[in-house]
Structure 1
Amino acid sequence: MAGVDCLPEEINVLTLNCWGIPYVCPNRSDRLEEIGRRIVKSNPQPHIVGLQECISKTDFEHIQQETRSILPYSKQYFAGPLGTGLALLSRWPIEEISITRYPLNGSPTALFHGDWYAGKGVAYAKVRYGKEPDNIIDVFNTHLHAFYPGHEYLCHRVSQAWELSKFLRGASQRRHDRALVVLLGDLNAEPTSLPYRILRHFVPDIHDTWLQHSLRHKKPPKGSQGGSNTREDDTNVQSGVTYGSPYNTWMWTRAQRARYLRQPGAPVSELGFPAGVGREQVMRIDYVLANVTPRYLKDIEIGPYTDRFGSGKDTGGTSKVDQGRGVWTVKSAKVGMVDRHPVLGCSLSDHFSVETTLAFQKIGKGVPISRQLSNEPRGADHRAFTGLKEDAGSETHVQELQGALELGELPGEPNTIELLDEIIHVLGENSKILQQRSWWRRARLGVAGIVLAGSLVGVWVVGVPGWARFLLALAGALASACAAVDAWAGISLYPTETAALEEFEWEVKNAKRSCDSVTSL
């Protein structure tokens, strides 16, 4: 099979939100073509690329054409009225693909938000990089619901993170040996947010590669700007931000762009930077998550393991790692795509990319794994890096955030019941939002009915002048259209949302009951 003769010891992964919404995003075609060229020029060159908001088929074909020399295999995913915007480029053959839409994804009546029409979901690809059964990469690409002022869609993002965690957990449980599970995407969730913590807590095998790199080097890894792409007063949590950076020209006002963007033909040295650009929107919301832990090795020394829902699982006895086995580790992680367009002078997207190199490190025969991970932190730092922490009642126990706590990266990880209670609280708040939405829908229907009845009376009963009759007829037509849309949403769409919420609530409460029953034993 072409392209899979030699097993790679390193796999380079890149994820980027392209900001490629047709008729909305300025300079879209020129920017996305340049993104394709920059992918080829990346150092190191990526083997797997996940794109979000790459909606236009023409734009994707341009990127395909630019990257075909290094990424000959590709797939653009389609779902929903406008498409998912998700796309994958690969150095190796793609064996299987699927796209699963999220049950909860915004409202069709929120026309200026548009998430419902994007058909957001989980795009999956099974990429084969070798001939053996375990020489595969399960690649998941996603884009969660966008963040808007208020908390109207928080429940939707939480639900999407819950669904995503089930896909990742299933894939990580099936993998073995050299198989790799990777999640790429724009989660629209910061490291302290509930959707992010759901993924970290309920999929213990999947790790944030940026955070893992930070733990390994005991400091946040720097982006291409030399560390200036951070919020000054919060560099630990927001290290490696990909959205809202003052270095991104799309965070500037229109007047600032008109004044400081480089004009065609101007030298690079004349690039300006507005002094008044704030850092209030700086966020790290784009991620590469991967199974960079040694727990999948069958012969690693490990004791009974309890999963996050309280069911005990014996992962095997205690023995040494066999010759040829190994672990995937994070070699490097950086923020990329920060250089501006060579002609337009603008940033390539309103996001920066995340670029990660995963390295496979073999373990010698009969030698404990802790002695083979060279140049890693020792003691508590080593346990934090490998994902293993000594705990009473078991020989080893997964504790992902230990090192993050030592670095001041994230708040303390709650136990499962606390996290489930937090999800249930979000569901309760969402119920109040749905009640308010239902009240406003009935109010709109009432007003539309009154306007329609008044227009009919004015047109057919009262002898009003011709221009007034036209205005009354127009008002009646608009009222009829609004009433029809609200009726359509109330009959066919909102019941679907309610059903999805009920299913989600049942799953969460059932998980909590399982935890309570285990705790009471």
Structure 2
Amino acid sequence: MYERAESPFMPEETSRPPSNLRILSLNCWGLKYIAKLRNERLSEIGNQIAAADPPPDIIGLQECWTQQDYNVIREKTRHLLPYGKFYFSGIFGGGLVILSRWPIEESSMTQYPLNGRPAAFYRGDWFVGKGVAYARIRMGPTRRDIAEVFCTHLHAPYEVEPHDSYICHRTAQAWEITKLMRGAAERGHLVIGLGDFNMTPLSLAHRIIETHSPVRDVWRVLYPNSSVGAAKDKVEQLRNVPMPNAEYNITKNGATCDSALNTWRWNKAHSQRLAKGENVQIEPTVDDPNAKRLDYIFFSSGSHHDASSKQSSAEWTLKEANVGMTARHPSLYCSLSDHFSVEATLVRNLDGPLSAPSNGPYALPETYLPIEIYDEILATISKYDARERTQRRLRLGHFGFQFFLTVGCLIGVWWVPHNYVAFILMLISSLSLSVGVIDGLMGGLFVGSELRALKEFEWEVRNTKDRALARAEKSDLPRTS
């Protein structure tokens, strides 16, 4: 749902280009029927956004699944963020929301071609239709006053990389949103990518985003030596850094998930005390081995062209970034979500004529990952392709088995001497045919669709690898540039 505020001040506001921009991204944990205290928490999320200082200008929300929760947050923040869009996707929705101080001129919802498996219904990624929510936001009268915002929630990891069976999906999703953000940057606009990416810093998905598009992770711009995983993870232990406490993880490592300060990650004893209404406090100096950063804000500055010097310069620069929404519910004493928010402030360089943007697309320099990384992605695709082909054969074989079992039961009905035996055979035949048809549809239709999406992804990776090789040979550069 797209809502426009009837405000007499909006035309005046859009006529004055902003000099700074406050951005916020939060996974709300708003799963209907599953997330605890959902209504109370999301209502308080709206309250705290409305009371934020400095106030946000653009917000991306994830796991805001219901129109009801969206409307509650909209009502509480309408005076700050008069424009909003609730994005529809998949069977149960995409859970994505974008709120803005300025008008949303265009919007779209792009579903990821690879997005989980329907057989894993207990995980739900396939059913919710994950993708990229896009909004083109008009902040002023000129072309330079456009921000293109991309909000997403990538496939969740259910095992530790590289053993995660969904790593191929998440890699393909990172590739897709990277293409969208690069296209926006080539139009010369400010690009903002935000959301719960379900990846750790410098992982494969993270490197794809920062290599194949000009966007940068705001946290690593300010804190380049921040953690690249939870302290308990092998990748962090190899860095040989001291065990961080909870406060350090929030202020320096940008940890938004699994923090020791988040009540939804507490042990059973603390949770029981909290449920009884006790305002349990955790010292910020406690060791925090599980906290990690899964939520991100990426940005790429719009560029403006100086006609006298014939040079382009960055228009937006990063001022600050922080983890926010750490305050707990005032009466329930629980955290507002199982994630904290990530927030950033961009500052605008207003030097140069605002009314004279470039007329054409910007030529962005091509950058590439090391060649062996493309080989790694291709190997992952090949491995997953073989797995899914095996799954298709098994599912179609299961359909054939259940079909013949159904036929056998129906034939057996003719020969049984008692009605109750005939009833049992009919029940078995009905159930077996139902299960077989479902498995047959998954194997014949869904897996076939997934294999075709894999072929598209594979072609793009091979094509990019070939360009990287050609550039390396042309410039006589090392192949691991």
Could you state the TM-score of these two structures normalised by the residue count of structure 1? Answer: 0.76
Q: Is the 8 A contact 1:99 1:121 kept in 2?
A: yes
Q: Which of 326, 331, 336 is the matching residue for 1:338?
A: 326
Matching residue of 2:362: none
Matching residue of 1:357: 345
- SS at 2:460 equivalent: helix
Residue 519 (str. 1) matches residue 466 (str. 2): no
Q: Is the 8 A contact 1:72 1:92 kept in 2?
A: yes
Matching residue of 1:289: 298
Matching residue of 1:213: 222
Matching residue of 1:431: 385
Structure 2 gap segments, 5+ residues each = 1-10, 228-243, 354-364, 475-481
Residue 160 (str. 1) matches residue 148 (str. 2): no
Matching residue of 1:34: 44
User: Alpha-carbon deviation of 1:454?
Assistant: 5.3
Q: Is the 8 A contact 2:216 2:298 kept in 1?
A: yes
Return the letter of the residue paired with 2:298.
L
Matching residue of 1:170: 183
- SS at 1:38 equivalent: helix
Matching residue of 2:100: 90
Residue 116 (str. 1) matches residue 126 (str. 2): yes
Residue 298 (str. 1) matches residue 305 (str. 2): yes
User: Alpha-carbon deviation of 1:41?
Assistant: 1.4
Q: Which of 382, 386, 394 is the matching residue for 1:440?
A: 394
Matching residue of 2:18: 8
Q: Is the 8 A contact 1:184 1:287 kept in 2?
A: yes
User: Alpha-carbon deviation of 1:458?
Assistant: 5.2
Describe how 1:3-402 pairs up with structure 2 within 5 A. 3-149=13-159, 150-175=163-188, 179-203=189-213, 205-215=214-224, 228-229=246-247, 239-261=253-275, 263=277, 270-273=279-282, 279=288, 281-292=290-301, 296-299=303-306, 319=309, 327-362=315-350
Describe how 1:482-521 pairs up with structure 2 within 5 A. 482-521=435-474
User: Alpha-carbon deviation of 1:93?
Assistant: 1.0
> Using the alignment, how far apart are the partners of 1:471 and 1:30 within structure 2?
49
> Using the alignment, how far apart are the partners of 1:16 and 1:93 within structure 2?
21
Q: Which moved more, 1:99-108 or 1:67-76?
A: 99-108
Could you state the TM-score of these two structures normalised by the residue count of structure 2? Answer: 0.82
Return the letter of the residue paired with 2:205.
P
- SS at 2:194 equivalent: strand
Residue 475 (str. 1) matches residue 428 (str. 2): yes
User: Alpha-carbon deviation of 1:415?
Assistant: 3.7
Return the letter of the residue paired with 1:87.
V
User: Alpha-carbon deviation of 1:362?
Assistant: 4.6
Matching residue of 1:315: none
Q: Is the 8 A contact 1:327 1:361 kept in 2?
A: yes
Q: Which moved more, 1:505-514 or 1:472-481?
A: 472-481
Return the letter of the residue paired with 1:250.
W
Change (3 A) 1:75 1:195: same
Change (3 A) 1:474 1:2: farther
> Using the alignment, how far apart are the partners of 2:226 and 2:212 within structure 1?
26
Change (3 A) 1:489 1:29: same
User: Alpha-carbon deviation of 1:259?
Assistant: 2.2
Q: Which moved more, 1:483-492 or 1:122-131?
A: 483-492
User: Alpha-carbon deviation of 1:52?
Assistant: 0.7
> Using the alignment, how far apart are the partners of 2:411 and 2:44 within structure 1?
60
Change (3 A) 1:84 1:181: same
User: Alpha-carbon deviation of 1:457?
Assistant: 5.1
User: Alpha-carbon deviation of 1:208?
Assistant: 0.5
User: Alpha-carbon deviation of 1:508?
Assistant: 0.9
User: Alpha-carbon deviation of 1:437?
Assistant: 1.8
User: Alpha-carbon deviation of 1:109?
Assistant: 2.1
- SS at 2:63 equivalent: strand
Matching residue of 2:239: none
User: Alpha-carbon deviation of 1:463?
Assistant: 3.0
User: Alpha-carbon deviation of 1:183?
Assistant: 0.5
> Using the alignment, how far apart are the partners of 2:441 and 2:248 within structure 1?
46
Q: Which moved more, 1:511-520 or 1:456-465?
A: 456-465
Return the letter of the residue paired with 2:179.
K
> Using the alignment, how far apart are the partners of 1:251 and 1:190 within structure 2?
18
> What per-residue deviation string (whole Å, max 9, x for no partner) do you get for residues 157-178 of structure 1?
1111111111111111111xxx
Q: Is the 8 A contact 1:229 1:240 kept in 2?
A: no
- SS at 2:13 equivalent: coil
Change (3 A) 1:487 1:321: closer
RMSD, matched Cα: 3.1
Q: Is the 8 A contact 2:220 2:226 kept in 1?
A: no
Return the letter of the residue paired with 2:100.
S
Q: Is the 8 A contact 1:184 1:289 kept in 2?
A: yes
